[in-house]
């Protein structure tokens, strides 16, 4: 893959947590279905706290493969 495509992919991955937290949380503004006993919106926030490091890890891998 050429360099600008890699860069675009990195930006796209970075936007996932941003959209999930900033837009996803207020739109998925519901208690049901409860996940492991937790309200749905809170479970969503927890899920993305765990996924954000994975997104950053993927971005870092792409950055290293670029150089």
Contact footprint for other proteins (CB under 8 A): 14, 17-18, 21-23, 25-27, 29-31, 34, 36-39, 41-42, 45-46, 48-50, 52-53, 55-57, 59-60, 67
Q: What is the 3-state secondary structure (H, E, C) of 9-44?
A: HHHHHHHHHHHHHHHHHHHCCCCCCCECCECHHHHH
What SS3 state is found at 38?
strand
| Shortest Å, Cβ 32 to other proteins | 9
Query: Which residue, 5 or 26, has its beta carbon nearer to other proteins?
Result: 26
| Shortest Å, Cβ 52 to other proteins | 4
């Amino acid at each position: 893959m050429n360099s600008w495509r890699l860069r675009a992919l990195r930006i796209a991955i970075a936007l996932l947590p941003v959209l999930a937290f900033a837009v996803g949380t207020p739109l998925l503004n519901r208690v049901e279905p409860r996940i492991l006993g937790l309200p749905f919106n809170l479970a969503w926030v927890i899920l993305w706290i765990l996924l954000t490091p994975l997104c950053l890890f993927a971005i870092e891998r792409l950055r290293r493969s670029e150089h």
